[in-house]
Structure 1
Amino acid sequence: MIAGAAAMWKALPIAQRRMIVALLCAVGLANIAQPYPDLAPLQHGPTIALILATPWLLRRWPLSTSSVACIWLFLLLHTLGARWIYSYVPYDDWARALSGHDISSLFGTERNGYDRLVHFGFGALLTAPIAEVAGRHGGLPMRWSMTFAFAAIGLGSAVYEIFEWLLTILAAGETADYYNGQQGDVWDAQKDMAAAQVGSTLALIPLLRRRA
């Protein structure tokens, strides 16, 4: 079993192996002096499971290094947000330290918007990999693979919002609002889904140009 896992690992391109190791290190760093230890397993557990399964997944369904890089960037965004359970990512503190100004004042926002950025990144970064899977492993022509990717982003966003709602009710209890990043906005789920679709739409533009 160990030999088989080692063989799958060695079969991956070196750039993909480096990304997997870097992501694993990022998850480890994100859990040093974890400020929300009770919620950390919910946030980081799926990422660790995916990291462990990645060598098998990429051997079964190979992807280009550019698509793996898109998935990797998205998971890095998630890992950063997961450290502060999204609602408390201190990007305003970082901006003030660098420039003396905070991002929230610049855009006139009161809520922490990092979760919205990651939902946008879900669409912007995962559309191309999904389209590649649909075309390369699903046999769809390019136009239909892009259509499928756009629809899959919408479906994935909706399923995630439902899953997040159920998970917070069952597992997060009184900390549900902190876990799911709603921050008191009753339309948070709809806005998150819209952000993902905007990101997906923008990601399709270079794909369409490449096709033309």
Structure 2
Amino acid sequence: MISGAVAMWKALPLAQRWMIWLLLAAVGLANIAQPYPDLAPLQHGPTVALILAAPRLLRRWPLSTSTFACICLFLLLHTLGARWIYSYVPYDDWVRAISGHDISSLFGMKRNGFDRLVHFSFGALLTLPIAEISRHHGGLPWRWSLSFAFAAVGLGSAVYEIFEWLLTVVAAGDTADYYNGQQGDIWDAQKDMALAQIGSMIAVIALLRRSG
């Protein structure tokens, strides 16, 4: 079993192996002096599972390095957000330390917007991987694979929001509120799904222009 896992690892392109190591290091760093240890497994668990499964998944469904980079970039953004359970990512403090100003004041934001960025990135960065998989491993023509990817982003967003709703039903009140990160916005789920679709639409247009 170990020799098989090593063989799958060595079969990956070098760049993809480095990306996996980078993700693993990011998750490790995100859990040093973890400010929300009770929620850390729920936030980081799926990422760790994907990292461990990556060699086998990439052997079964190979991806180009640029496509795999899109997935890794999305997971890096998620890992950053997950450390501060999204609602408390201190990006204003970071920007203020550099420029003396903050993003929230500049754009009139009354809530932490990092989760909005990640939902947008879900659509913008994962459209290409879904399209590539559906094209090369599902046999869809390129334009149809892009349509499928756009629809899959919408489905994935909806399923995730349903999961968050179910979590509020079964989890303790504080745990559910912290994980969901609504921050008092009753339209949080709808805005998250809309941003994911906007991101996917931009990606589809860019990919169509690139392919001519």
Question: TM-score per shorter chain, which class?
Answer: over 0.9
Equivalent residue, structure 1, for 2:57: 57
Distance across 1 between alignment mates of 2:100 and 2:35: 25
CA contact (8 A) 1:172 1:179 kept: no
Aligned-residue offset at 1:52: 0.3
Q: Could you give the per-residue CA deviations for residues 61-110 of structure 1, whole angstroms, max 9, x where no partner exists?
A: 00000000000000000000000000000000001000000000000011
Aligned-residue offset at 1:211: 2.5
Equivalent residue, structure 1, for 2:47: 47
Equivalent residue, structure 2, for 1:74: 74
Equivalent residue, structure 1, for 2:191: 191
Amino acid corresponding to residue 73 of structure 2 in structure 1: L
Is the alpha carbon distance of 1:171 and 1:9 closer, same or farther for their aligned partners in structure 2, counting shifts above 3 Å? farther
Q: Which moved more, 1:144-153 or 1:202-211?
A: 202-211
Amino acid corresponding to residue 93 of structure 2 in structure 1: D
Equivalent residue, structure 2, for 1:25: 25
Q: Secondary structure of 2:89's partner? A: coil
Gaps of 5+ in 2: none
Superposition map of 1:103-114 within 5 A: 103-114=103-114
Equivalent residue, structure 2, for 1:154: 154
Superposition map of 1:1-16 within 5 A: 1-16=1-16
Distance across 1 between alignment mates of 2:168 and 2:98: 35
- Number of aligned residues: 212
Distance across 1 between alignment mates of 2:207 and 2:141: 13
TM-score by length of 2: 0.98
Equivalent residue, structure 2, for 1:122: 122
Gaps of 5+ in 1: none
TM-score by length of 1: 0.98
Superposition map of 1:172-211 within 5 A: 172-211=172-211
Amino acid corresponding to residue 35 of structure 1 in structure 2: P
Distance across 2 between alignment mates of 1:131 and 1:172: 38
Distance across 2 between alignment mates of 1:152 and 1:11: 29
Q: Secondary structure of 1:86's partner? A: coil
Amino acid corresponding to residue 207 of structure 1 in structure 2: L
CA contact (8 A) 1:92 1:102 kept: yes
Distance across 2 between alignment mates of 1:167 and 1:4: 37
Aligned-residue offset at 1:172: 4.8
Equivalent residue, structure 2, for 1:94: 94
